[in-house]
Amino acid sequence: MASFMRFFSTTTQPSVKPAEDVYALVLRAFGSAPWNCSAKKVRDGLSYAYGEKGFYGVLAYNEKNRLVGAALAARSLCSRGIQRLQLMTLCTEPERQGSGIGSQLLQKVIQTSQMRKDGCVDLVTLQGSPAVSFYMKKGFLVETPSPDYPDMLQMRFHMGCPSCARS
């Protein structure tokens, strides 16, 4: 479990040091199988996330003030004009996976999204990865394969949004 968490947003982005720590963490988490993301892809993805309007993140630290997990998200309007949250990255140190840090981060993101009255939390993850079962255990439903990326799944955590309610 994380000792403490820090919240930041587009108005309180992390300084260069935490931003570099987030980059290094995401690269360690997604730089190997099954994701195999390159350093460039990680850097480009983080630059995109930080630049999104409505961006915010939650960082988890251990008792030695070392970054051990990160959740990065951005709020946007869905096609029907309802506010939603796009979870862009959720990761923990590879050796700390299964310790509850990811669950703590996800819970904080969902609580913040509920408090802000978002209709849902959306994400895209790799089909067949351990992340799919993790998110399903947390209440996310598989929506569709991603139309732009056939090896990816779109998943959604519903929070009472009438425009995305399942029948």
Please, what sign has the CA dihedral across residues 16, 108, 44, 35?
A: positive
Contact (CB, 8 A) for 17 and 23: no
pTM score over 0.85: yes
| Per-domain residue ranges of the chain | 4-118
Confidence of residue 86 (pLDDT cuts 50, 70, 90): very high
CB atoms within 10 A of CB 63: 9
Distance of CA 52 to the CA centre of its chain: 14
Digit-coded pLDDT (tens) for 21-69: 999 999 999 999 999 999 999 999 988 888 888 888 899 999 888 999 9
Please, what sign has the CA dihedral across residues 14, 126, 35, 135?
A: positive
Tokens at 20, concatenated: 């570099």
CATH number for 4-118 (one of 3.40.50.970, 3.40.630.30, 3.20.20.70, 1.20.120.1200): it is: 3.40.630.30
Residue 123: pLDDT over 90: yes
144 compared with 37, residue with greater pLDDT:
37
